[in-house]
């Protein structure tokens, strides 16, 4: 109850590394090995799905364990705000401060991202996911990845009420599974009725179509709180392998990012595989648990939220850096390795500095909003959650 699982930081590290390589690991040329690596890289966007399932798992567990708390809603939202808002709004402030320097060309509807609803407007006008610079194209800011934060925040707004109203564990599981099935049906309907471009935009980037990832994580959290928790824990390896095999087959059959099968069953099976993986790493004594508890992974996982926010903001500048390296080194492969390693290292250092010098000042306030269970047991929840 309100427990800390070190290996989950390792999963965060895996997820954020997958997303990073999806964004910056492309353009492999020159041989079969590099082309095969690029095929794998093009599917690493599934790291976002792992983030969704992990968030659903942790948040549902917290909500269910504290559903009888005397200040249930206030404490939950206060703690979420301390974790999420400081970096997000620091980013907004920094971009505003840099606007005179780079002559950023803002559009009014981009303000909707401040309320975590920008994904709805940007899906209508994809140009809203970028903030061009009048000084130089390489200075353009990319905010397209913020759609995932919008989806999570919208989930955090709605799911606590459902947990508080339903309360019963089995009914919550049934509700989550029913809503997950609804998400799949909505995706099927969108694929059938809309053009591929429109279907991909809305299915990937809005809560109604993506809620099954978050909810299936919640189902896992609820199953592991029941009388058959040990049975479900033992089944997680099989669930992961079955989901992984299904996803890999879908990737082979329909490799295109906007393929109908991938946008429908593919997302569901990715969530299933992610839930199984989470369950696998929970036992500290398991091989998976030991692997994802390795210190380097845990350190990266600790800073993964900031890493995710910062990593692609100046993606166009990093691309320009890559092109310059290619011209200097006369090798696409070597330039790619150097650029990716430099980008990853710089992003990690920025995320670490952000966490240690800024975010932690807010996270230290979390004990002021301890749940009744924590107060009764004289324990404080992990501030990094």
Rg (CA), the chain: 21
> Do 314 and 141 meet the contact criterion of CB atoms below 8 Å apart?
yes
> Is residue 2 pLDDT above 70, yes or no?
no
How many independent structural domains does the chain possess? 1
Q: Cα–Cα distance between 321 and 334 in angstroms, integer?
A: 13
Provide the residue range defining the domain that includes 126: 7-376
The pLDDT of residue 376: 73
Least confident of 26-35, 270-279, 305-314: 26-35
The string of pLDDT tens digits covering residues 91-128 is 999 999 999 999 999 999 999 999 999 999 999 999 99
Question: How many whole angstroms from its chain centre is CA 96?
Answer: 25
The pLDDT of residue 31: 67
The string of pLDDT tens digits covering residues 31-79 is 666 677 777 788 899 999 999 999 999 999 999 999 999 999 999 999 9
The pLDDT of residue 303: 98
As a whole number, the mean pLDDT across the chain is 93
Q: Cα–Cα distance between 256 and 42 in angstroms, integer?
A: 9
Q: Cα–Cα distance between 303 and 260 in angstroms, integer?
A: 35
The pLDDT of residue 330: 85
The pLDDT of residue 252: 87
> Is residue 331 pLDDT above 90, yes or no?
no
Domain-embedded: residue 383: no
The pLDDT of residue 36: 73
The pLDDT of residue 29: 56
Tell me the whole-structure pTM to 2 decimals.
0.94
* Average pLDDT of the residues in 344-351: 98
Domain-embedded: residue 381: no
* Average pLDDT of the residues in 312-333: 91
Q: Cα–Cα distance between 187 and 204 in angstroms, integer?
A: 9
The pLDDT of residue 238: 97
Q: Quick one: which of 247, 182, 172 has its CA closest to 217?
A: 172
The pLDDT of residue 255: 80
Domain-embedded: residue 130: yes
> Do 278 and 108 meet the contact criterion of CB atoms below 8 Å apart?
no
The pLDDT of residue 101: 96
Domain-embedded: residue 2: no
* Average pLDDT of the residues in 228-245: 96
* Average pLDDT of the residues in 359-378: 88
> Is residue 382 pLDDT above 90, yes or no?
no
> Is residue 1 pLDDT above 60, yes or no?
no
């Amino acid at each position: 109850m309100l427990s800390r699982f070190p290996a989950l930081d390792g999963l965060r590290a895996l997820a954020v590394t997958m997303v990073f390589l999806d964004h910056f690991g492309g353009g492999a040329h020159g041989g079969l090995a590099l082309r095969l690596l690029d095929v794998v890289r093009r599917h690493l966007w599934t790291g976002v799905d792992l983030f969704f399932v992990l968030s659903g798992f942790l948040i549902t567990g917290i909500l269910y364990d504290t559903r009888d708390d005397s200040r249930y809603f206030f404490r939950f939202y206060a703690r979420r705000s301390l974790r999420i808002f400081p970096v997000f709004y620091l980013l907004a402030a920094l971009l505003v401060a840099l606007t005179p320097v780079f002559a950023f060309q803002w559009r009014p509807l981009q303000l909707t991202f401040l309320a975590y609803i920008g994904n709805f407007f940007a899906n209508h006008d994809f140009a809203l996911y970028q903030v061009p610079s009048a000084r130089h194209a390489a200075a353009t800011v990319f905010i397209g990845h913020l759609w995932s934060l919008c989806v999570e925040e919208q989930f955090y707004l709605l799911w606590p009420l459902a947990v508080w109203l339903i309360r019963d564990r089995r009914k919550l599981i049934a509700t989550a599974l029913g809503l997950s099935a609804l998400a799949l049906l909505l995706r099927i309907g969108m694929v059938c009725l809309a053009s591929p471009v429109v279907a991909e935009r809305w299915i990937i980037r809005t809560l109604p179509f993506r809620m099954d990832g978050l909810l299936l994580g919640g189902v896992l959290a609820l199953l592991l709180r029941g009388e058959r928790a040990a049975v479900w824990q033992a089944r997680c390896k099989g669930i992961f392998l079955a989901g992984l095999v299904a996803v890999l087959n879908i990737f082979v059959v329909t490799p295109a990012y906007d393929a109908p099968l991938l946008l429908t069953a593919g997302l569901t099976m990715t969530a299933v595989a992610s839930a199984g993986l989470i369950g696998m790493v929970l036992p500290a004594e398991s091989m998976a648990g030991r692997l994802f508890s390795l210190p380097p992974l845990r350190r990266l996982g600790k800073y993964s939220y900031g890493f995710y926010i910062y990593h692609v903001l100046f993606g166009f500048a990093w691309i320009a850096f890559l092109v310059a390296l290619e011209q200097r080194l006369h090798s696409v492969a070597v330039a790619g390795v150097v650029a990716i390693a430099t980008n990853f290292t710089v992003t990690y250092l920025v995320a670490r500095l952000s966490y240690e010098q800024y975010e932690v000042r807010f996270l230290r306030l979390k004990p002021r909003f301890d749940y009744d269970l924590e107060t009764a047991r004289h324990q404080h929840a992990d501030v990094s959650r």
